[in-house]
């Protein structure tokens, strides 16, 4: 692929991802894999689920010792950028969102993937393939609410309703997505978010949103009924509801904000054999089906092993898919450092 940007056309039939019948396990590359593999990832329950679904049974059991470096995306990207000209880097595999992956690739951080070393690549839905990163799962930012406290919201603009003053909760990790949500609900677009910044300052005055450092902290705030309404990944909301939290999700009239997650190889990584083994094993039908079950994110592949019940619970409808909003990666890569600085200095202040 020469154009890594995911467009609405590319997602037009994403609802069919994972509908193929499970294939026989494809077999992994024959090269020797061993030694230490340094993996940069998010922390918290996400990393725990990656370990349970994938790294434990498929990587550690093969004699590869994973050393985790857990951080939020701004810190992870800063380190990758700082190490790109060093003879050796400290990261072999970097987990990234679609937008962050595009940014790191454009900055010369990621190595173009040798597809011949990833036999399971052929099972990735064609609309989700990019040449610098293995896409694992995808999802969308939607509205999250406590149905015993809030009637079903219909727009991202409901987060600005003074009726919910002191009851709006935001996850600081999702600053990027909230900027887009503010833009879409206040006359802006995905290609120009200038209207988001005054809108977010208006939110401060109208509802005094509570900011939380992680998904887990936001979930705890919903559990204690400290907050009643937010925006988050549909997958997170589905998972929390399964765990007994009084939450539901609602698809905003503006359309959900699309995102996907996967892993790439920094150019200065050392253990290439183990890194390619890792990328290929990600796409095995069992671990990708298991992570879909554990996280409620739809998988990227056509042969993931999942029960019909899990598949139905986490899928988006064709109408919802048609309204996905896609990040303009070049625009985001150019501006993200300014956005995070504004978020930290102006919105969080």
- Closest by CA to 94, choosing from 338, 296, 268, 290, is 268
- Domain annotation covers residue 7: no
Q: Which residues in 75-111 are b (16+ Cβ under 10 Å) and which e?
A: ebbebbeebbeeeebbbbbbbbbbbbbbbbbeeebbb
What is the predicted pLDDT for the residue at 51? 95
- Domain annotation covers residue 323: no
93 and 241 belong to one structural domain: no
What is the predicted pLDDT for the residue at 91? 96
- Domain annotation covers residue 6: no
What is the predicted pLDDT for the residue at 349? 80
Contacts with 126 (C-beta within 8 Å, 6 or more apart), sequence order? none
76 and 133 belong to one structural domain: yes
- Domain annotation covers residue 273: yes
What is the predicted pLDDT for the residue at 16? 41
- Domain annotation covers residue 5: no
Q: Determine contact, residues 146/232, Cβ cutoff 8 Å.
A: no
* DSSP assignment of 172-204: GGGHHHHHHHHHHHTT--SS--TTHHHHHHHHH
84 and 132 belong to one structural domain: yes
What is the predicted pLDDT for the residue at 23? 37
Q: Say how many Å lie between the first and final Cα of the chain, rounded.
A: 42
pLDDT tens per residue across all 349 residues of the chain: 333 444 443 444 344 443 333 333 444 443 446 689 999 999 988 999 999 999 999 998 888 999 999 998 999 999 999 998 888 899 999 999 999 999 999 999 999 999 999 999 999 999 899 999 999 999 999 999 999 999 999 999 999 999 999 999 999 999 999 999 999 999 999 999 999 999 999 999 999 999 999 999 999 999 999 999 999 999 999 999 999 999 999 999 999 999 999 999 999 899 999 999 999 999 999 999 999 999 999 999 999 999 999 999 999 999 998 999 999 999 998 999 999 999 999 999 8
Distance between CA atoms of 112 and 131, rounded to whole angstroms? 6
* Beta pairing, strands 210-212 & 134-145: unpaired
Distance between CA atoms of 264 and 208, rounded to whole angstroms? 38
Domain count across the chain: 2
User: In Å, how far are 5, 63, 197, 249, 257 from 328, measured between CA atoms?
Assistant: 7, 40, 18, 25, 11
Q: Determine contact, residues 93/38, Cβ cutoff 8 Å.
A: yes
95 and 187 belong to one structural domain: no
CATH number for the domain harbouring residue 298: 3.40.190.10
Residue numbers of the domain that contains 162: 139-257+329-347
pTM to 2 decimals? 0.79
- Domain annotation covers residue 1: no
227 and 336 belong to one structural domain: yes
DSSP single-letter state for residue 122: G
Other C-beta atoms closer than 10 Å to the C-beta of 344 total: 13
130 and 115 belong to one structural domain: yes
46 and 146 belong to one structural domain: no
304 and 271 belong to one structural domain: yes
277 and 229 belong to one structural domain: no
What is the predicted pLDDT for the residue at 33? 60
Supply the angle between the helices 98-106 and 329-342 in degrees, to the nearest 10. Answer: 100
* DSSP assignment of 238-293: HHHHHTT-S-EEE--TT--EEEEEEEE-BTT-S-HHHHHHHHHHHTSHHHHHHHHH
Indicate the burial class of 320 (C-beta count within 10 angstroms; 0-12, 13-18, 19 or more).
middle
74 and 47 belong to one structural domain: yes
175 and 37 belong to one structural domain: no
87 and 109 belong to one structural domain: yes
């Amino acid at each position: 692929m020469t154009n890594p940007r995911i467009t609405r056309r590319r997602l037009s039939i994403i609802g069919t991802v994972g509908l193929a019948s499970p294939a026989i396990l494809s077999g992994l590359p024959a090269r020797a894999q061993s030694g230490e593999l340094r993996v940069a990832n998010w922390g918290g329950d996400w990393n725990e689920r990656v370990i349970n679904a994938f790294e434990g049974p498929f990587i550690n059991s093969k004699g590869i010792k994973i050393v985790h470096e857990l951080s939020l995306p701004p810190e992870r990207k800063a380190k990758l950028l700082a190490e790109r000209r060093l003879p050796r880097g400290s990261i072999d595999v970097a987990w990234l969102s679609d937008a962050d992956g595009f940014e790191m690739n454009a900055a010369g951080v990621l190595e173009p993937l040798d597809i011949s070393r990833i036999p399971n690549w052929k099972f990735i839905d064609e609309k989700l393939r990019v040449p610098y990163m293995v896409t694992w799962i995808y999802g969308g930012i939607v509205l999250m609410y406590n149905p015993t406290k809030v009637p079903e919201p219909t727009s991202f603009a409901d987060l600005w309703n003074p009726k919910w003053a002191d009851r709006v909760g935001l996850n600081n990790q999702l600053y990027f997505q909230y900027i887009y949500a503010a833009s879409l609900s206040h006359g802006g677009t995905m290609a120009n978010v200038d209207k988001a910044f005054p809108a977010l300052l208006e939110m401060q005055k109208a509802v005094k949103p509570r900011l939380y450092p992680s998904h887990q902290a936001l979930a705890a705030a919903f559990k204690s009924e400290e907050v009643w309404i937010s925006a988050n990944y549909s997958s997170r909301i589905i998972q929390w509801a399964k765990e007994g939290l009084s939450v539901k999700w609602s698809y905003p009239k503006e359309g959900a904000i699309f995102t996907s997650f996967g892993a790439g190889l920094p150019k200065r990584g050392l253990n290439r054999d183990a890194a390619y083994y890792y990328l290929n094993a990600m796409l095995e039908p069992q671990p990708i089906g298991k992570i879909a079950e554990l996280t409620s994110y739809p998988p990227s592949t056509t042969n993931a092993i999942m029960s019909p019940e899990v598949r139905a619970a986490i899928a988006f409808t064709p109408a919802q898919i048609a309204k996905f909003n896609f990040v303009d990666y070049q625009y985001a890569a150019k501006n993200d450092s300014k956005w995070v600085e504004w978020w930290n200095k102006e919105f969080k202040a």
